Structure 1
């Protein structure tokens, strides 16, 4: 949901780092103020460092949530095996038959879009005071050591929604809609974690207690990408990994823009209607001792249409020290990752200087 690295390709820009959340002029107001914006303002222009070429992805795994929760043991066992393979291979999958009402999803998109339509002076009250601010909206900047600053072509809204629930006061319907949607996705993520635990022959209750899922830290992210006059010169979200266990993503009208890195190649995802995109977070990779894979991904923009996405990140309890599960360490003959408190990991990811190595890379133990 938030960049852990700011380079727009795998090899360059190792001097860049991202800054804490800031609120300058929203991209929405910039576009609204111009009748015909033909060129990017300098601060949005990444220039030759930006390379967002990607191949079409036709083989992203599809997981049937209704089969995963089925009372038919054969059907459920098959779905669990497919989920485990998807988490180990791509680290991403399409979730279908998820059971979240279409009306709730449409209301979620409508109210989030309404929030982004608010005047900048109303949204600015939610400018983050620190990386741990429970409500934040605004811009996200990249800054080089030579003090060049670039702004992402994106307006964002970030909310901490569990175990404590935070929400802006406007638009008024947002609170109730958000509470219902995040509760449903929280239960869904817990079911996915449980199914992965079963695939690793771990006791589900042991996993839930070890990760303190009753107090699971859940973060909501709304991302708005207006049409861009020079989409090849900027980016919406640079390559990054998500912290946590699973992130559940909705893309309005299925518009292309999400790109996933796999085996050093980038692939563009075109999700089918009424589906969700789910990805493995860093902490599921760590807890599984590398059986699950957290994959880098990014969001690109386009010239023709605005794009809106909603991401809900689901983690362990914020005070949990996450390391490989003890039973897996015993089975594997050693831990492949260092342990670290979840809240410290997230804050370090948001505030660290990027040197070409992600915080997940640093947690890996060389063997």
Structure 2
């Protein structure tokens, strides 16, 4: 932040806390006051996070033509630099980032994995790392959504009861912002 502007400190929400009512209250306050929070003690091991970053770095270091073999389709795959625009009113054509999207393996009634994966010859550990991370993040999301239901003064199983978790449409989005 520039000058003497006050630095914003986001609240920490401890997913491992046994006091779910307190956690839900903290989530509500964080969302109302800040719109964001940090989630700690989510259960994803540091080694897993390091592997995800290492494999992401390997992927984004590939030549563009290799990455373009996995071009974005059906909400999955690679998006090159400037392919997406977060702010359509921006005078800059496209965002200064590249990304890779991974979604649920089985989409709707299809038995075909719609995800696109780099060849094992190119990145031998990539798919297993990302599939594992996706599943772990989905489990964290299910725990968190239960606390969000409580924060909204709903039953903690509200979202599960209405079927919101039966065919999750959660996507993992890996982003690479080159330094400038």
TM-score (norm 1): 0.41
* Cα deviation, residue 206, structure 1: 3.4
Distance in 2 between the 1:141 and 1:205 partners?
Answer: 36
Counterpart residue number, 1:218: 170
The 5-angstrom pairing of residues 130-141 of structure 1 reads 132-139=74-81, 140-141=83-84
Spell out the pairing of 1:328-347 with structure 2 (5 A cutoff): none
The equivalent of 1:333 in structure 2 is: none
Q: Greater share of strand residues, 1 or 2?
A: 1
Contact map agreement 1:65 1:98 (CA 8 A) in 2:
yes
The separation in 2 between residues aligned to 1:88 and 1:149, in whole angstroms, is 32
Displacement of 1:53? 6.5
Aligned-pair CA distance for 1:149: 6.1
What is the deviation of 1:78? 1.7
Displacement of 1:158 after TM fit?
A: 1.8
Q: CA deviation at 1:227?
A: 1.7
Task: Give SS of 1:221's match.
Answer: strand
Give the unaligned 5+ runs of structure 1. 1-51, 229-367
Match of 2:110 in 1: none
Pick closer, same or farther for the CA change 1:93–1:141 going to 2, 3 Å: closer
State how far apart, in whole Å, the 1-side matches of 2:43 and 2:164 are: 25
Alignment partners' CA distance in 1, 2:176 and 2:6: 23
2:53 paired with 1:109: yes
Deviation at 1:205, TM superposition (A): 3.2
Query: Partners in 2 of 1:120 and 1:186 — Cα distance?
Result: 30
Distance 1:162 1:89 in 2: 36
Q: More deviation in 174-183 or 163-172?
A: 163-172
Are positions 1:200 and 2:152 aligned together? yes
The CA distance in 2 between the partners of 1:94 and 1:213, in whole Å, is: 23
Q: CA deviation at 1:110?
A: 0.3
Query: Mean Cα displacement is larger for which, 199-208 or 150-159?
Result: 199-208
Residue in 1 that maps onto 2:30: 86
Correspondence for 2:95 among 139, 152, 162: 152
Contact 1:62 1:93 (8 Å CA) reproduced = yes
Give the distance between the partners of 1:156 and 1:66, measured in 2 at CA.
Answer: 31
Distance in 2 between residues matched to 1:156 and 1:134, nearest whole Å: 10
Which whole-Å CA distance do the structure 2 matches of 1:133 and 1:201 have between them? 33
Which residue does 1:250 correspond to in 2?
Answer: none
SS, match of residue 154 in structure 2 = coil
**Alpha-carbon distance in structure 2 between the residues aligned to 1:215 and 1:141:** 26
| Distance of aligned partners of 1:144 and 1:196 in 2 relative to their CA distance in 1, 3 Å threshold | closer
Deviation of 1:118 after TM superposition, in Å, equals 1.0
How do 1:309-348 residues align onto structure 2 when only pairs under 5 Å count?
A: none
2:125 to 160, 173, 176: 173
Root-mean-square deviation (CA, aligned residues, Å) is 2.7
Q: 1:98 to 1:154 in 2, by over 3 A?
A: same
- Which of 61, 67, 85 aligns to 2:11? It is 61
Q: 1:152-194: CA deviations, max 9, x gaps?
A: 2212112223554524124221111111111111111111111
